[in-house]
Amino acid sequence: MNALKSFPLLLLVILLSLSTSTEAFAAATTELTPSIQAAFDLTAATADGPTRIKMTNLYNDLSTLKMQYNNREEQIRTLHYNNEQTLIAVRKQIKEIDLETVAQLEATVKSCKQHYQPLFDQYNALNKRIKIAKGLKNKTLNTVLQAQGDAMKILVQLARKEISDRQNQLNAAKQTRTRKITYARKTLSGIDSPQVSIKSNKSVVTSLNKRISADWSDFKAAIRKQNLTLTTQSLSSLVSGYRQIATHKQKIIELEQKISAVIANTRKQII
């Protein structure tokens, strides 16, 4: 008779010992495995009606919250990954704003200067000859050279104006590019505050996870010993912890979504 009475407890010990080796990781992450369910059922069966109902409701709440925990964790991972990838692309796009336009204008200015450099060289050489001719006091030569100088001066002035106009276009394009980049980066800086808040919420979640780990150890010890009081207390603490985590994870999801919106607005400005 004593052996029969001790059979449920013996079964409980066997179930828990099996889970220790094959499900160590699952237990560490608060997985409600079949062996844990069986152990809990054996413990709950020893309670009176109201206590059993309370324990069962808490266990069901824990199961629901655990599923919600996993779903939100996956949602956070997906949102964060997408934001990181999009952020890399947007930052690259910001650096490339009007870059091609500026490069083309720089090439134009350079080409224009190269095109007119022979004219400038000829004009400088002619001015040197005019200066030398003045020293020779040859009026005829001076008149011819001065006429050539006056004619070339007009061409040089036109060339310099063209270069100046193209340089002004380049300067304006650079200023526009700088303004666009500054504006885009200012908009993108809207992710800074959410990112700080995410870190804060994740820190709280980490602390709560540590508490849950301790509560989970208490829960396993309680159902191993069929301790109704400790089982109820540890379940209540687990449910409370998971509910708090759910709140913080929802905040993280909303913050990641806010970051997504900021990145999207920035991209619209760039395009």
0.95 surpassed by pTM: no
Question: How much is the pLDDT for 21?
Answer: 33
> pLDDT (tens digit, 9 = 90+) per residue, 133-167?
777 677 777 778 788 888 989 999 999 999 999 99
Question: How much is the pLDDT for 131?
Answer: 81
Question: How much is the pLDDT for 165?
Answer: 97
Question: How much is the pLDDT for 15?
Answer: 40
Question: How much is the pLDDT for 215?
Answer: 95
CA distance 65 to 76: 16
Write out residues in the chain with pLDDT < 70, as ranges.
1-29, 136
Question: How much is the pLDDT for 149?
Answer: 81
Question: How much is the pLDDT for 29?
Answer: 58
The residue ranges of every structural domain in the chain are: 99-183
